[in-house]
Structure 1
Amino acid sequence: AMDMDVLRCKSPDMVRKEIAVFLLTYNLVRWSMMRAAQLVKVAPRELSFTGARRLLLAFASRMSPCFVDKLSELTATLLRKISECVLPKRPGRIEPRAKKRRPKPLPLLTIPRALARQQIRAQFA
């Protein structure tokens, strides 16, 4: 749901930072779900992770420094909206914890882009 399966950075330092940001984001979403679940007295697992993530993204622009006086009101509204993202009851549901990569019409680029360009130019020369 958060597209954390592919790291985009190349250097080890940036990869560490990217993973740290993913963990920070994941924990923010889970913490928000926990607070929202406490409001309506349900288990946090009963709330939609994707719904909470989308609401956090939508409210992020409204929680800018110019709205400091309304921050507590916006936070309360956000938590109330997250608490409305209750998942339906699905008894007996068993799904594999796996994500299929969808087939793409083009192959993955497994060599450096500059080398691939050279190979293409060599084919047409």
Structure 2
Amino acid sequence: MAIARFPSLVIDCPDASVLATFYGTLLDWKIETSPGWAEIRADYGQCICFQQVEDYTPPQWPAQTVPQQMHLDVNVDNLDAAEAAVLELGATKHEHQPGTSFRVFLDPAGHPFCLCVD
């Protein structure tokens, strides 16, 4: 039997509302914001939360000067179309692209994330 249920991923960022809007639009999830905190939620209940922190420093990848603590991989049907869409949302394509079945981007707060195809 599980000790706990319904885990949420919480991501530190300089502006919770901005990052929730970015990922909420990317995933087409409902966006809920309050001062310093925001959540995006799927219709089936999964949730990602964003907490605003002062003096936020984005991770440096692949260098480890400021190591990444996590990153999100999201599945897409078409890498080129998804790339255009996330760039329009405010993502930046990372110069280091180590694979062919995925592409690495930085969200508006500087967290790495990957668009992946099977």
Give the TM-score normalised by the residue count of structure 1.
Answer: 0.25
Larger radius of gyration, structure 1 or 2?
1
Give the TM-score normalised by the residue count of structure 2.
Answer: 0.26
